[in-house]
Amino acid sequence: MPLKYPVVPHFYYNSLIEKYSFGPKHPLKPERVDRTLRLLNAIAPVEVIDVPSATREDALRCHDEDYIDAIQSFSETWEGEDALTDDQQLIRHEFGLYGDNPPFRGMYEASLGYLGATVAAANAVKDGANLAFAITGGLHHAQRRLASGFCIFDDPAIACDILLDRFDRVAYVDIDVHAGDGVQWIHYDNPRVLTCSIHEEGKTLYPGTCWPEETGTEFSSLNVPIQAHTTGDVWLDAFRQGILPGLEKYQPQAIVLQLGTDTHHLDPLGHINSTAQEWLAAVTDIKALGLPIVATGGGGYNLTTVPRMWVAAILTLANIPFQNEIPEHLQQPLGAKTIFDDALPEPRNTGRPYAESVISWLKTNHHPNIRP
């Protein structure tokens, strides 16, 4: 008998993500994924494929050996800051293992765990799948030898590298409210990866970089910063005029898509006022390019918005139609009645002049220089 609904394909997960925590205040909470799966399963069945952890070789694709060694060493021996020798303090600071990214016991295994799901998704697309998900991934701030912004291993950068085993040109598209700086710096000198990021500008939000002038080798780094309090209508226009023409010019053969949901106006970390539907329109545009996609998660820290935005993106990418209404038994637990937002943040059209100046700069100085 045919299934009532198509199953969401290639959905990869590694349960060690539940051990990936920098402490009780750490905002990347596992509930984000639990709630997403509950909502997803109530609309379309998803076969979650539990995959092995990534290997050291996978991490070595985009990270230096001494960085990986330091992660492993602190992971095995960490007993708190007071127990460190002076040498260990130096190493810790060299690799960014403080502030938002303090070491914790089991950090190495947990990091290889979340990386495993993204590696499996990237390998699926490398092997011919048209679409694969690693919704626990998208940790886009880690650099080659620097932990940053809650990120240890840069799984989207590694996904791009895996796709290069098969494709000549890969694009990375990042719609998180924070800039995809780690992916940019890791691939900055590699013209076979076009990194694209639309984000709140660095004057008001971490990480403070990814300006339009950071163009990468052969213009393979494309940045669209927008101002705090910009509304989703302007955000979407900036995406369509800033990112899409670059992608069309570059003609990638596959895409790694980072689905950060923290552009939503209810998100506690970012200051962009988009709605679920405006954000989803960018996802729909990427799908319309008709290319193989590795879709990762990303930021998003409001538990009433992340599940519905991720579910909308997953179903849209998988071509599974859905209703706006959230099934009744989940409305109270998820704190929302509908997938999309009823009320639009007011006033509309906020942040337009700044966005237009960025687009104008890109049209003159960047898009014309992008080469396939």
CB 211 within 8 A of CB 202: yes
List the structure tokens of 189. Answer: 């000198």
Smallest separation, CB 262 to Zn ion (Å): 4
User: Closest CB to Zn ion among 201 and 262?
Assistant: 262
User: Closest CB to Zn ion among 75 and 263?
Assistant: 263
Nearest residue by C-beta to Zn ion? 299
User: Closest CB to Zn ion among 155 and 176?
Assistant: 176
Which candidate, 191, 192, 196, places its Cα nearest to that of 179? 196
Task: List all residues 6 or more positions away from 213 whose beta carbon is below 8 Å from its beta carbon.
Answer: none
Alpha carbons 244 and 343: distance in angstroms, whole number: 27
Alpha carbons 123 and 116: distance in angstroms, whole number: 10
Distances (CA, A) of 70 to 31, 89, 94, 124: 29, 11, 10, 30
User: Closest CB to Zn ion among 299 and 351?
Assistant: 299
Task: List all residues 6 or more positions away from 132 whose beta carbon is below 8 Å from its beta carbon.
Answer: 9, 10, 11, 12, 120, 121, 122, 124, 125, 293, 294, 295
Smallest separation, CB 206 to Zn ion (Å): 8
Which candidate, 217, 256, 203, 11, places its Cα nearest to that of 117? 11
Smallest separation, CB 343 to Zn ion (Å): 23
Which candidate, 38, 55, 36, places its Cα nearest to that of 136? 36
Which candidate, 4, 145, 128, 5, places its Cα nearest to that of 63? 145
User: Closest CB to Zn ion among 96 and 260?
Assistant: 260
Smallest separation, CB 178 to Zn ion (Å): 4
User: Closest CB to Zn ion among 88 and 197?
Assistant: 197
User: Closest CB to Zn ion among 198 and 254?
Assistant: 198
User: Closest CB to Zn ion among 61 and 178?
Assistant: 178
Alpha carbons 233 and 262: distance in angstroms, whole number: 16
Tally of residues, the chain = 372
Smallest separation, CB 140 to Zn ion (Å): 8
Smallest separation, CB 298 to Zn ion (Å): 6
User: Closest CB to Zn ion among 9 and 180?
Assistant: 180
Smallest separation, CB 328 to Zn ion (Å): 31
Give the 3-state secondary structure of residue 90: helix
Smallest separation, CB 87 to Zn ion (Å): 33
Element containing residue 362 per DSSP (H, E) = helix 352-365
Smallest separation, CB 243 to Zn ion (Å): 17
Binding site for Zn ion (CB under 5 A): 176, 178, 260, 262, 299
